[in-house]
């Protein structure tokens, strides 16, 4: 038995995609285990998660994302761009689509710009007062953890945003897991260290929940950082966010929109005896 897959990446955030549009390929109770096995970069294919594409009765397509720790993520900004890149290549959609996710139905617009595939994603409405983030009123939750001011926002998934003077000097291997598991976040959080580098420009590093490591880019993290710094009056309505894997643009005029590239890297088959 061969399981066909496609490997994609968005700013270095890489994913394995399994096409289940016609029928299930990996049983639901094995999807997490499959992700854990094949996201391994030495004994598997390698990736920050496995995207499962299927039909939807609520939208054009349905996306599920399972991470290396076997958990299912509610939403992923880079992942959904890779997802729609595959969907365009496969002929399922063309210039726009709606994608069902555990975080709600997400609208995406796609185009080629100078031969580069770009996708603009209408991100979930930022939330500051949810049961999984103990915020109050309209202000983002703020707590001092390990001497750092940590602000919380949910962009489909919970994020802890910390402004620093120099992201390169952050001991993310120590601070990332500590804040990710802090009691402030009962369901855990992605941890974003963000540096203001110019007018409406940020640099960010993210420790991702579920991957349990720093990734080269995090789309929801870039959005969370832009939202928080915009609320603090430090950036305007169009923000360029530099990740280790490349640039993302966040638009904040009416709702939060994430724009960035996505690339199909290779296709392959897993042979199951």
> Which residues are tagged catalytic?
76, 218
* pLDDT in the model for residue 38: 98
**Element housing 148 (H / E):** strand 148-154
- pLDDT tens digits, the chain, 273 residues: what are they? 899 999 999 999 999 999 999 999 999 999 999 999 999 999 999 999 999 999 999 999 999 999 999 999 999 999 999 999 999 999 999 999 999 999 999 999 999 999 999 999 999 999 875 444 444 333 455 566 667 888 889 999 999 999 999 999 999 999 999 999 988 788 899 999 999 999 999 999 999 999 999 999 999 999 999 999 999 999 999 999 999 999 999 999 989 999 999 999 999 999 887
Domains of the chain in start order, with CATH, are: 2-122+260-271 (3.10.310.10), 141-255 (3.10.310.10)
The pLDDT assigned to 132 comes to: 46
Q: In whole angstroms, give the CA distance from residue 155 to residue 185.
A: 14
Note the pLDDT of residue 129.
55
**Model's pTM, two decimal places?**
0.93
Count of CB atoms situated within 10 Å of the CB of 135: 17
Instruction: Measure the CA–CA gap between 115 and 134, rounded to whole angstroms.
Output: 44
Element spanning 36, H or E: helix 31-38
pLDDT of residue 142: 57
DSSP label at 7?
A: E
């Amino acid at each position: 038995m061969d399981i066909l897959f496609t490997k994609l990446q968005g700013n270095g955030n890489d994913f394995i995609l399994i096409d289940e549009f016609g029928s299930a390929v990996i049983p639901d109770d094995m999807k997490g285990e499959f992700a854990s096995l094949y996201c391994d970069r030495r004994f598997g294919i390698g990736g920050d998660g496995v995207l499962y594409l299927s039909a939807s009765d609520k939208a054009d397509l349905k996306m599920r994302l399972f991470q290396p720790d076997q958990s299912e993520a509610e939403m992923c900004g880079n992942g959904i761009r890779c997802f729609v890149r595959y969907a365009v290549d496969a002929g399922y959609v063309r210039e726009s689509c709606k994608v069902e996710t555990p975080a709600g139905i997400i609208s995406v617009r796609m185009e080629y710009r100078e031969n580069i595939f770009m996708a603009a994603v209408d991100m979930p409405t930022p939330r500051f007062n949810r049961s999984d983030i103990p915020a109050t009123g309209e202000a983002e939750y703020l707590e001092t953890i390990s001497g750092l001011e940590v602000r919380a926002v949910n962009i489909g998934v919970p994020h802890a945003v910390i402004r620093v003077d120099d992201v390169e000097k952050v001991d993310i291997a120590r601070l990332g897991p500590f804040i990710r598991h802090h009691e402030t976040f009962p369901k855990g959080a992605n941890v974003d260290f963000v540096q203001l580098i110019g007018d409406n420009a940020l640099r960010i590093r993210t420790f991702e929940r579920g991957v349990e490591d720093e990734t080269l880019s995090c789309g929801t993290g870039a959005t969370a950082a832009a939202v928080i710094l915009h609320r603090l009056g430090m950036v305007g309505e169009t923000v360029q966010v530099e990740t280790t894997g490349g640039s993302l643009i966040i638009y904040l005029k009416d709702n939060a929109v994430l724009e960035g590239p996505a690339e199909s890297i290779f296709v392959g088959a897993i042979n199951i005896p």
